[in-house]
Structure 1
């Protein structure tokens, strides 16, 4: 393959070196960077996995995924969005990254352009380049301040070579959910311009605001140009299990299955079988967890917005709080490096989520409330010591 130098870029190098420096002197690290739920994997899934091993689900399985799991995914999605999806439109893959990557591989050709919303998950640009090294990356910034999707700005990014719109709903790192009107307008534009939509919906079960989550899969009109990727890593604390899926038209699903066969042979059989148990139990365990996330977000939001030099927007979903540090006159790397060296609080520099987001840093609140309290206090003290004018 053509190795693009962007694959080797380390936008958070300065911050990473600061973390190492703090550890080298024995300093405590309060990790607020990882997108991993502070939940245990539900015991019924673990039990189902061991039972699957005992029952012999340790052999090869279909590259597209176990039929039983694909049927359950299709049935669950169809019931939620009232659009019919079949098992033939589902591909089970080793993680959501694999689902996005294989989707891009199945769609892109040389010189195609991919518009991707920023701030975005850190792997999106590199996955595009890995899937098609000659593709053109076209970052599209959400509106600063409220993280809304600017439809006119989006239309201005489109050319006759635009092939894909890649975005997350809910967004990572902002936690923003797009309105029904925006979703419908995006569909209208993409239909007219024959653009595929790849929608990463991994945080769709972690919604704690009153805002309605509207997904592209609710609309029959875009179905043939839509790939929805999702999984269980966030909703069921299965980050290390490496299990995700894509829902797409039958031809794209076939292509992704061919890719999976030639790269992985199949997704781990007994893990797929264990995941079938999810659909016998539902998502009741998330009621209490989403309540905890809401409490953490509201507390952190209040603390951040009382300090001169910091500001933020209350998220709708997910684990993350995106803090604006523009008034500190620091880059995100500089701020995060100094913060971790002085306090031990490790946040993620905003530059990791897009070139134009260096005025932000991301905190993961997938930690107990007492850790949120401690980190918020240290962040407030650190920022106040910078003496950025008068307090709010």
Structure 2
């Protein structure tokens, strides 16, 4: 008999689509994959050298649960220099990817039945991880005119006596929206007043196209104390398969997460940790090149989308996604349950282009396109999108 919790868990839509694309390609079908949030860059060579050297030096034994000290020290330097927030190595916990970090936070802070607030649209795995830990995901409606960024009054309306946490993703997946300092201050002040912890998922913080990115924990010391920052190396250093994430939090929370992690994974792969260390120490130029490339691609894809009638999108300020509004297509589209799921299935079959249904993020009339791939692929994918939706307008 399987666990009761499995009845409420939905498999990852993005992983499922990616698997289908791989199967189609293996069968000889030419598919354009614009679904998965995976950089098309490789891990920088200098970072790889750190991993190779660690193996040559036989650094393959058990180490500290929170992560190797050298890497935690470099993360502290990075957070102080780039994010203007001061942490000590004991407040940094390395994990096997940002998903692992988020799970650690929820296990450390929530009890069964505690509510975790999720402003719509939200990354597909948040709600399922919350359910796995026996907490309750609570969606908060946001508005398109605000680029789907949470407003103070929307937050206040969602809070109950069971509210324990809120997840703020900045930059956003799927919209690419970036909160201003003033917007974050309004949200964080409510959380401070109401005693609500903040999970600040800043995994895309290096991939921003605006001059001033503000970390939640940098707002002030009181807000820092209730904030757990999630970050990692998958997006900024193209280390998706190496599975290396981290949290920055107060010492009490960090110690609790270490205690939990010690029984689940002990610590993330040492080889991955040394590669991450190399990325921080040696590869700033390579990571900046990736960001510059994403910014150029963002301009290319938005310029192309601007030429398509009867659609809209959220103008991205970071990450590498476009959240495309197909409300007018939906009006003339035949579907039974979910418009966006049916649309994405039909689009993949008809035009051999994989995108992610907005339903996965909580908003059904949208689709998400990733431009973390070569320009030719995403521009051709948009060409095929224009051709396909012309049948329904």
Q: Normalized against structure 2, the TM-score is what?
A: 0.91
Tell me the CA shift for residue 223 of structure 1: 1.6
Tell me the CA shift for residue 109 of structure 1: 1.0
Equivalent pair of 2:47/2:282 in contact (CA under 8 Å)? no
Equivalent pair of 1:232/1:238 in contact (CA under 8 Å)? yes
| Correspondence 1:346 to 2:347 | no
Tell me the CA shift for residue 18 of structure 1: 8.6
**1:38/1:18 CA distance change after superposition, 3 Å:** closer
**1:288/1:68 CA distance change after superposition, 3 Å:** closer
Equivalent pair of 1:22/1:344 in contact (CA under 8 Å)? no
Question: Which residue number in structure 2 is paired with residue 154 of structure 1?
Answer: 155
Tell me the CA shift for residue 154 of structure 1: 1.0
Tell me the CA shift for residue 27 of structure 1: 3.3
CA offsets 1:107-133 (integer angstroms, 9 cap, x no match): 0012211101221111101111112x2
Tell me the CA shift for residue 91 of structure 1: 0.5
Question: Which residue number in structure 2 is paired with residue 373 of structure 1?
Answer: 379
**Residue pairs, 1:77-156, within 5 angstroms:** 77-131=79-133, 133=134, 135-145=135-145, 146-156=147-157
Question: Which residue number in structure 2 is paired with residue 174 of structure 1?
Answer: 175
CA distance in 2, matches of 1:12, 1:239: 14
**1:11/1:283 CA distance change after superposition, 3 Å:** closer
> Which stretch shifts more, 170-179 or 116-125?
116-125
Question: Which residue number in structure 1 is paired with residue 228 of structure 2?
Answer: 227
* RMSD between superposed Cα atoms in Å: 2.3
> Which stretch shifts more, 94-103 or 377-386?
377-386
Tell me the CA shift for residue 25 of structure 1: 7.8
> Which stretch shifts more, 6-15 or 85-94?
6-15
**1:25/1:99 CA distance change after superposition, 3 Å:** closer
**Number of aligned residues:** 382
| Correspondence 1:308 to 2:302 | no
Tell me the CA shift for residue 23 of structure 1: 6.4
Tell me the CA shift for residue 21 of structure 1: 9.9
Q: Secondary structure at the match of 2:51?
A: helix
- Please, which of 322, 325, 335 is the counterpart of residue 343 of structure 2? 335
**1:371/1:13 CA distance change after superposition, 3 Å:** closer
- Please, which of 74, 96, 108 is the counterpart of residue 72 of structure 1? 74
Equivalent pair of 1:177/1:211 in contact (CA under 8 Å)? no
**1:324/1:7 CA distance change after superposition, 3 Å:** same
| Correspondence 1:214 to 2:219 | no
Q: Normalized against structure 1, the TM-score is what?
A: 0.91
Tell me the CA shift for residue 22 of structure 1: 6.5
Equivalent pair of 1:96/1:231 in contact (CA under 8 Å)? yes
Unaligned runs of 5+ in 1: none
Q: Secondary structure at the match of 1:299?
A: helix
Tell me the CA shift for residue 167 of structure 1: 2.1
CA distance in 1, matches of 2:287, 2:269: 26
Tell me the CA shift for residue 42 of structure 1: 0.3
Tell me the CA shift for residue 278 of structure 1: 2.3
Equivalent pair of 1:326/1:359 in contact (CA under 8 Å)? yes
CA offsets 1:228-267 (integer angstroms, 9 cap, x no match): 0101111111001011111111111111111111011222
